[in-house]
Structure 1
Amino acid sequence: MLKTKMKQLLTALTISTAMVSAPLATQAADKGASNVEAGKELAFSRSKGNCLACHMVPGGNLPGNIGPALIAMKLRYPDKQKLYDKIWGKPETQIPDSMMPPFGQNGILSDDEIAKIVDFMYTL
């Protein structure tokens, strides 16, 4: 029951966040906007980030529910470097028995690609 209520809450929050966060990419500087778009493309790409396999992401189709919804990322990670380190796979950021691969450590994504994904996630 609690899981169902939590999923409903996260879905509602994701939908409302998607409507609010959409203009943020257009307000960014040209370079920032291009990084955000490139980060979104990488995050949604099945051959690269593939974030949608496990996470609900505003604007994504057919999201997974293994990991937490990727919403309010600035609030969850006020220090952008900590989010970068989490995606890269720094040992101190890893959660035991997590299904999330260490993308940088395993060479799945380059440092630049992770930085672009972080830029995108900061718009969520």
Structure 2
Amino acid sequence: MSIAFSALALTFLAATAPAHAQSAVADGQKLAFDRGKGNCLTCHQIKGGDLPGTIGPALVDIKAKYPDRNELVAILTDETKRNPQTMMPPFGRNRILTSEEINAIVDFLETL
């Protein structure tokens, strides 16, 4: 019975993982486009976003530019550690975004 339960649990996890990933991407896009939270559109052009800014680079080919996910997380958390002259707000350091929200935005950015 334990083997059957384990197989059922693995099947469930495999079936729900893509749905969870899609949910994280959708949550990340919502946060990125939210003018009161991520606010990425204020400075960046993003496919599907309205009224983008031009202060920062266009967010395209992100996975190719940043193959290491942790680098994107660090940029959103506190880019001033890497570049003290940046105009990028330290979303994590200033607690504008939680680590879960930052990871959701990174999930979304990796689809661009």
TM range (shorter): 0.7 to 0.9
Deviation per residue, 1:94-116 (Å, 9 max, x gap): x2322111100010000000000
Are positions 1:99 and 2:87 aligned together? yes
Aligned Cα root-mean-square deviation (Å):
1.3
* 2:81 partner amino acid: E
What is the identity percentage for the equivalent residue pairs of Structure 1 and Structure 2? 50
Q: Which amino acid aligns with 2:23?
A: S
Report the count of equivalent residues: 96
Q: Which moved more, 1:95-104 or 1:78-87?
A: 95-104
Query: How does the TM-score come out when normalised to structure 1?
Result: 0.74
What is the CA-CA distance between 1:91 and the residue it aligns to?
4.6
CA contact (8 A) 1:44 1:60 kept: yes
Amino acid at match of 2:19: D
Alignment partner of 1:30 out of 5, 9, 19: 19
Does the 8 A contact of 1:90 with 1:105 survive in 2? no
Which consecutive residues of structure 1, in runs of 5 or more, have no partner in the other structure? 1-27
Q: Distance in 2 between matches of 1:59 and 1:120?
A: 12
* Alignment partners' CA distance in 2, 1:75 and 1:57: 16
SS in 2 for 1:42: helix
- The equivalent position to 2:54 in structure 1, one of 62, 65, 83, is 65
Structure 2 unaligned runs (5+)? 1-16
Structure of greater Rg: 2
Q: Distance in 1 between matches of 2:79 and 2:43?
A: 20
